[in-house]
Structures are given as structure tokens and as C-alpha cells.
Structure 1
Amino acid sequence: MIIVEEVQNENQKKKFLEFPAQLYRHDKNYIRPRNQDIEEIFDPEKNKSFQNGECARFLFKNSENETVGKVAVFISGLYQQKQPTGGMGFFDCINDQGTANFIFDHCKNWLRERGMEAMDGPINFGERDKFWGLLIEGFTDPLFGMNYNFPYYKELFENYGFKIYFEQLCFSRPIFAEVSRIFTLMHTKHSTNPAISARPMKKNDLPKFAKDFTEIYNQAWASHGEGKQLEEAKVLKMFKTMKPIINEHISWFVYENEKPIAMWMNLPDVNQWFKYLNGKFGIVEKLKFLWIKQFKKNEKMVGLVFGVVPEWQKKGIDGYMIWEGTQHLRKHTDFKTTELQWIGDFNPKMIKIAESLDTTVTRKLATYRYLFDREKEFERHPIL
């Protein structure tokens, strides 16, 4: 017998946060997310998805009152699909197919009652940049905001009937790996041009770099699928939020005279520091974080965005920028690895760009879909 509890009081919220920590306590690669990063997703005052959506969390217990699983299930007016599709995520479960099936059935019934015809998962009640997808390859320590799970979760999903809607590819490369000969040739070519210069991002000049970032991004990604135009004010706000963790040696801009034409944005993987805090971030943990940040080497950086304005694409300016930045950060940082945030397999343009950066796929996640009508033909995410 499995008992279902909807998460409503503080004790249940605590159990929702604590269950994964208990489940993964012997897994050396697991990094507990910060409690506040999870709780903010389920706070109507902080998550705009509640403005046109609905969400509920559940705990699942056995006859001995032991927690054996948890999940969140939700619908969002912003999540437009071919058929009305809801989402489920923040799924954790013991290695038991019967328990998993019970949880999936509960999600399906909850969504059906609200007019949904399919469910995707595990996904986030919000943007795709956090807690999206099931890890299916590369079971190493996760990046900040990235889902991590046991390998057996794949069987739990697929045995129930979920199918992969799209794969999420993470590309990586060692910092000290040999740089492509093409990049060095392009660096030689452009370094002789006095109009071309590369410079790292500086914390004391965030308004300028926010303006330059917005200009490059909106030009570089306007023609790509699902590209969104950014507003300079929002970018500056984002930069100010990131300021405490910005490393001035690893984000680079290229200029033709003073016109911004390319950028390569990276941040330290803060999970390499947060893993010592056990999900907490109160006053004591913040002080501990500052100490860790100062004295613990962080050897992994995360590639956030890479862009070149259209008139400079396919001219090797990316090679110039990467070689300039790589030479510098090798001397001035402790980073040994860079990993790009995931790219959907439905976006061959961005995959080609990632591959051109001399990277290899080192981690895969998957977004699964389950159609309630089992006779309906399953279709994967359309190619952009």
C-alpha cells in the first residue's frame, strides 16, 4: 500500500527536500541543490509560472510511513505543445517499478482531470535553464541547476511507457587540451588587424558589458530557432545578480574598433562550492561559502553563451576569441574543464556551433513524453 500526501505544511516541505539527500547519501557524485532554489519554484510570489498555471507537490509513503518517492506535477499556459501537455518533475523514487508506476499514474490522473492529453518529464515548472531532463549518460557531478539521478531512473520511465521527446547534449573539453589548428590560424590572421581587439569582462563596468552582450546576442541568435530578443535592462539586472561569482578572466568580448562583434560567456560552476553546504544557504552557510570560494580551487567552468554577429560569422573571429581567452585563463585561473549548458538534439545549428568549439559530448539528459492516448502516434520534437 502506498500513501499519498500533498505537500502543504512546513514538515512536508522539509521531507520533500530531505528525501533525495537520503536516497543519494552513498552516491559520491550527487550534489544537493540549495533548498532555496527548489522552494522558489513552488512559491507563487517568486515563480511567474503560477500566473497562468497550476502546480502541486506530493510525497509517497509505504505502510511503514517511510518516504519512497516524491514528485511535482503542473500545467502552464506558457508550455504550448501540439496537444495539451502538462509536466512532471522533481521526481525521486526508490528502485522499484511498482512504486514508480504508482507515482506516474498519480501524475497522469492529476493532469487528465485538468484537460491534459500528455505529460512531459522530468521538467521544471518554469524555464528550461534549470532542473530539466533526466540524466541518461555521463553520471558525474552535475552542474548548478542541473538534474542528477540514478541510472535506474531511465528504466523506470521507459518501462512505464515514456518515450524520449528530445535529448539534451552537454559538450565539454579540457582547458589544457590542444586547441584546434584552425583556431590558432584564425588567431594569427586577426591579431594582425589593429581594428580587432579582445578583452575580458570586468565587474566594475557591468553596464557597458550588458549593453554589448545584448547587442551581440540579439544579432547572433535572431535567426536561430526559439531565439528570444533580450532587453538591456534585464541583462544588466542578471549581470548584477551574477556579480559575486563572476570571474574576470573567463568571459570575453571581441571588438572591431569599439563595436562589439563576438562574446564568449562563462561562469565558475558554483556547484563545486555549494556541494559543501548540504543544501543550506543561511548566514552561517554564506560565510562558509565565502571562505570556500576564497580557498577551495574550482576546476570547472560553465559555458553559458557564445555568439558572433552575422557579418563576422564564418570568418574565424570565434577562433581568435577562443585562443585569446584560453591563453589568458590558463595563466590566471585554476580551471581544468569547461562544460556547455545542454543543447537540444532538435537544434542542429547550435550543435554544429558547439562541435566547432572543439568539444565532445560528455553528458546526456532526456526530456520524456507520455501520451495518454496509447494509440496516438508518438512524434519527437521537430527539428528547428
Structure 2
Amino acid sequence: MIIVEEVQNEVQKKEFLEFPSRLYQHDKNYIRPLNKDIEEIFTPEKNKFFKTGECKRFLFKNKQNETLGKVAVFVNKFYKQHQPTGGIGFFDCINNQETANFIFDYCKSWLQERGMQAMDGPINFGERDKFWGLLIDGFIEPLYGMNYNFPYYQELFENYGFKIYFEQLCFSRPIFAEVSRVFTVMHAKYSKNPNISAKPLKKNNLEKFAKDFTEIYNKAWAVHGEGKQMSEGKVLKMFKTMRPIINEHISWFVYENEKPIAMWMNIPDLNQWFKYLNGKFGFFEKLKFLWVKKFKKNEKMVGLVFGVVPEWQKKGLEGYMIWEGTQHLRKHTDFKTTELQWIGDFNPKMIKIAENLDTTITRKLATYRYLFDQSKEFERHPYL
């Protein structure tokens, strides 16, 4: 017999956060997410998606009051699909198919009561940039904001009947690996052009770089399938929020006569510091974070955005930018690896860009879908 508890009081909220830590206590690659990052997702005042959606959390226990699993289930009006589709996320479960099936059945019923015809998972009650997808290959330390799970989770999902809606590919390369000759040739070419220059992002001039970022981003990404226009104000706010963790050696902009034409944005992987905090971020943890940040080498950086304005695409400018930035950061930082945040397998253009950057796939996540009417034809995410 499995007992279901909706997460409502402080004891239940704490258990929702603590259960994964017990489950993964012997897994050396597990890095506990910050409690505040999880709780903010389930706080209406902090998460705008509550204005147009509904979300509940549940614990699943045995008769001895021992937690066997947990999950969040939600509907979001802005999650547009062919059929009404809800989501599940923050799923953790013991290695037992019957328990997993019970959890999935419970989510299915909850979503059906709200008119849904399918469920995707594990996904976030929010944007795709955090806590999205099930790890199916590359069981190494997760990047900040990335889901991590045991390999057996894939069987739990697929045995129930979930199918892969799309794969999420992460690309990486060693900082000191040999750089493609194409990059060095293009660097030599553009270095001779007095109209072309490369500049690293500087904290003391965030307004300028926010403006340049916005111009490049909106030109480079507006043509991509799910590209969204960004406002300069929103970008500046994002930059100011990121200010404490910006490394001035690893984000680069390229200009033609001072007009921004390309960018390569990176940040340190925060998990390389947060893994020492055990999910907490109170006053003493913040002091510890500052100490760790100062004295512990962070050897992994994360690629956030790479963009070239349309008129400069396919001209080798990225080679100039990558080699200019790489030479600099090799001298001035401790980073040894860079990893691009995931790219959906439905986006061949971006995959090609990642491959052209001399990267290799280092991990895969999957977004699964389960159709409540199993007689309907399953369709994967359409290509962009």
C-alpha cells in the first residue's frame, strides 16, 4: 500500500528536498541543488507560471512512513502542444517499477481531471533552461540547474510507456585541446582586418554589453524556430544578476567598426562551488561560498549563448572569435573544460554550429511524452 501526501506544510517541504539526498548519498557524481532554487519554483510569488497554470507536489510513502518517491505535476497554458499536455517533474523514486507506475498513474489521473491528453517529463514548471529532461547518457557531475538521476530511471519511464519526445544533447571540449586549423586560419585572416576587433565583457560597462548582446541576439536568433526577442532592459537586469559570477576573461564580443556582430557568452559552472554547500544558501553558506570561490579552482565553464548576426554567418568569423578568446582564457583562467548547455535534437542548425566548434557530445538527456490514449500515433518534436 502506498500513501500519497500533498506537499503543504514545512515538514513535507523539507522531505521533498531531503529525499533525493538520501537516495543519492553513495553516488559520487550527485550534486544537491540549492534548496532555494527548488522552492522558488513552487512559490507563486516567485514563479510567474502560477498566474496561468497550476502545480502540486506529492510524496509517496509506505506504511512505515518511509518515502518511496516524489513528484511535481502541473499544467501550464503557455505550454502549447498538438494535444493538451501537462507536465511532471522533480521525479525521484526507489528502483521499483510498481512504485514508479503508481506515481505515474497518479499524475495521469490528476492531469486528466484538468483536461490533459498527454504528459511530458521530467520537465520544469518554468523555462527550459533549468531542471529539464532525464539523464540517459553521460552520468557525470551535472551542471548548475541540470537534472541528474540514476540510470535505472530510464527503465522506469520507458517500461511505463513513455517515449522520447526529443533528446537534449550537451557538447563539450577541453580548453587545451588542439584547435581546428580552420579557426586559426580565420583568426589570422580577420586579425589583419583593422575594422574587426574582439573584446571581453567587462563588469564596469554592463550597460554597453547588454545593449550589444541584445542587438546580436535578436538578429541571430529571431530566425531560429523557437527564438524569442529580448529587450535591452531584460538583458541588463540579467547581467546585473549575474555580476557576482561573471568572469571577465571568458565572454567575448566581436565588432566591425564598433558595431556588434558576434558574441560567445560563458560563465563558470556554479555547481563546482555549490557542491560544497549541501543545498543550503543561508548566511554561513554564503560566506563559505565566497571562501570556496576564492580558494577552490573552478575548472569548468558553461557556454550560455553563441551568436553571429546573419550577414556574418558562414564567413569563418566564429573561428576568429573562438581562437582569440581561447588564447586569452588559457593564460588568465584555470578552466580546463567548456560545455554547451543542451541543444534539442530537433534543431539541426544549432547542432551543426556546436559540431563546427570542435566539440563532442558528452551527455544526453531526454524529454519523454506519454499519450493517455495509447491508440494515437506518437509523434516526436518537429524539426526546426
TM-score interval, normalised by the smaller of the two chains: over 0.9
Q: What is the match of residue 225 of structure 1?
A: 225
The CA deviation at 1:280 is 0.2
Are residues 1:163 and 2:163 paired?
yes
The CA deviation at 1:257 is 1.4
The CA deviation at 1:190 is 0.3
The CA deviation at 1:22 is 0.5
Q: Give the whole-Å Cα distance in 2 for the aligned partners of 1:309 and 1:164.
A: 33
Q: What is the match of residue 23 of structure 1?
A: 23
| Equivalent residue runs for 1:265-344 within 5 Å | 265-344=265-344
Give CA deviations for 1:224-273 in whole Å, capped at 9, x if unaligned: 11000100000000000000000000000001111001000000000000
Give CA deviations for 1:6-27 in whole Å, capped at 9, x if unaligned: 0000000000000000100000
Q: Give the whole-Å Cα distance in 2 for the aligned partners of 1:372 and 1:196.
A: 55
| Equivalent residue runs for 1:165-184 within 5 Å | 165-184=165-184
Aligned-partner SS, 1:193: coil
Q: Give the whole-Å Cα distance in 1 for the aligned partners of 2:379 and 2:197.
A: 47
The CA deviation at 1:210 is 0.1
Q: In the comparison of the two structures, how many residue pairs are matched?
A: 384
| Equivalent residue runs for 1:188-203 within 5 Å | 188-203=188-203
**Which letter maps to 2:328?**
H
Are residues 1:259 and 2:259 paired?
yes
| Equivalent residue runs for 1:113-132 within 5 Å | 113-132=113-132
Give CA deviations for 1:262-318 in whole Å, capped at 9, x if unaligned: 000000000000000000000000000000000000000000000001111111110
**Which letter maps to 1:358?**
D
Q: Percent identity?
A: 84
Aligned-partner SS, 2:158: helix
TM-score of the superposition, structure 1-length normalised? Answer: 1.00
Give CA deviations for 1:336-374 in whole Å, capped at 9, x if unaligned: 000000000000011111111110100000000000001
Aligned-partner SS, 1:238: helix
Are residues 1:249 and 2:249 paired?
yes
Q: Give the whole-Å Cα distance in 1 for the aligned partners of 2:80 and 2:317.
A: 37
Q: What is the match of residue 148 of structure 2?
A: 148
Q: What is the match of residue 210 of structure 2?
A: 210
Give CA deviations for 1:86-137 in whole Å, capped at 9, x if unaligned: 0000000000000000000000000001000000000000100000000000
Give CA deviations for 1:204-231 in whole Å, capped at 9, x if unaligned: 0000000000000000111111000100
The CA deviation at 1:56 is 0.2
**Which letter maps to 2:301?**
M
Q: Give the whole-Å Cα distance in 1 for the aligned partners of 2:163 and 2:208.
A: 45
The CA deviation at 1:192 is 0.3
Aligned-partner SS, 1:80: coil
Q: What is the match of residue 37 of structure 1?
A: 37
Q: Give the whole-Å Cα distance in 2 for the aligned partners of 1:204 and 1:33.
A: 30
Q: What is the match of residue 69 of structure 1?
A: 69
**Which letter maps to 1:149?**
N
Q: Tell me, which stretches of 5 or more residues in structure 1 are unaligned?
A: none
Aligned-partner SS, 2:329: helix
**Which letter maps to 1:278?**
N
**Which letter maps to 1:189?**
K
The CA deviation at 1:64 is 1.2
**Which letter maps to 1:256?**
E
The CA deviation at 1:28 is 0.3
Runs of 4+ in 1 over 2 A off after TM superposition: none
Q: Give the whole-Å Cα distance in 1 for the aligned partners of 2:78 and 2:25.
A: 36
The CA deviation at 1:331 is 0.4
The CA deviation at 1:63 is 1.5
Q: Give the whole-Å Cα distance in 2 for the aligned partners of 1:57 and 1:222.
A: 36
Aligned-partner SS, 1:261: strand
Q: What is the match of residue 367 of structure 1?
A: 367
Q: What is the match of residue 383 of structure 1?
A: 383
Q: Give the whole-Å Cα distance in 2 for the aligned partners of 1:163 and 1:274.
A: 33
Give CA deviations for 1:24-71 in whole Å, capped at 9, x if unaligned: 000000000000000000000010100010000000001211001000
Q: What is the match of residue 354 of structure 1?
A: 354
Are residues 1:82 and 2:82 paired?
yes
TM-score of the superposition, structure 2-length normalised? Answer: 1.00
Q: Give the whole-Å Cα distance in 1 for the aligned partners of 2:377 and 2:113.
A: 22
Q: Tell me, which stretches of 5 or more residues in structure 2 are unaligned?
A: none
Q: Give the whole-Å Cα distance in 2 for the aligned partners of 1:230 and 1:353.
A: 21
Q: Give the whole-Å Cα distance in 2 for the aligned partners of 1:259 and 1:80.
A: 37
Q: Give the whole-Å Cα distance in 1 for the aligned partners of 2:317 and 2:350.
A: 17
Give CA deviations for 1:143-188 in whole Å, capped at 9, x if unaligned: 0000000000000000000000000000000000000000000000
Aligned-partner SS, 2:250: coil
